[in-house]
Copies of this chain bind each other. A is one copy, B any other.
């Protein structure tokens, strides 16, 4: 038996694999033992053929004529996405958004654990949020060193996001999730993903206007599948 092929997985596929993994976790809880690509694709909101293509990057995962083993596929996906080991994360900026994230149970269940919460505000430092005590941002480097955090999440105001990012990078954090509405500049070898909620709303507004304003002009779009992307 040949070992897992070291093929390159497109980033768009990786994002979908994470969605499949969550759906599979739900199916496993429901006691299901097998799923077809059609059912899984429907639950994930994607095309069945695309789903099979995504899974094919991991090598053959299913049984023809039967489908995929829920637990088997779940394990394979978990492995492909980085294993089951807990990923320590630090969160900087414990305001409204940061508090919501720190308190969210959905991350821990997927292996992401906040091991450090940092803020400048003296009114916030010392408080317990999500079972962890908020520490002063001056200790950021020390916290990363002692916890071996590999992921940094930035929920500070935009003005200070770049400086926070620089400090994270300087102590070895190479994966950053940024909620502040600025484009962060980082050296090569560091990955930044940005979540920009204002942009999401603005795109919705644009699509809305386009729909109302010029119905015949936007014609050559989606072939009317009843499932959201």
Contact = CB atoms under 8 A, between A and B. Distances in A.
Interface in A23-61: 43-46
B175 A204 contact: yes
A44 B183 contact: yes
Contact of A186 (B19, B43, B226): B226
Which of the four size classes fits the interface of chain A? Answer: 35 or more
Main secondary structure of the interface of A (DSSP, over half): mixed
A95 B176 CA distance: 25
Given A8-B220, A217-B6, A228-B186, A19 B205 contact: no
A110 to B, nearest CB: 6
Interface of A: 6, 8-9, 11, 14-15, 18-19, 21-22, 43-46, 80-83, 87, 89, 95-97, 99-101, 103-104, 106-107, 110-112, 150-151, 174-178, 181, 183-209, 211, 214, 217-218, 220, 222, 224-229
22 contacts: A8-B220, A11-B207, A15-B199, A19-B199, A44-B183, A45-B183, A45-B184, A81-B205, A96-B100, A96-B103, A96-B104, A107-B201, A110-B198, A110-B202, A111-B205, A112-B201, A186-B226, A189-B211, A191-B211, A191-B228, A192-B229, A194-B229
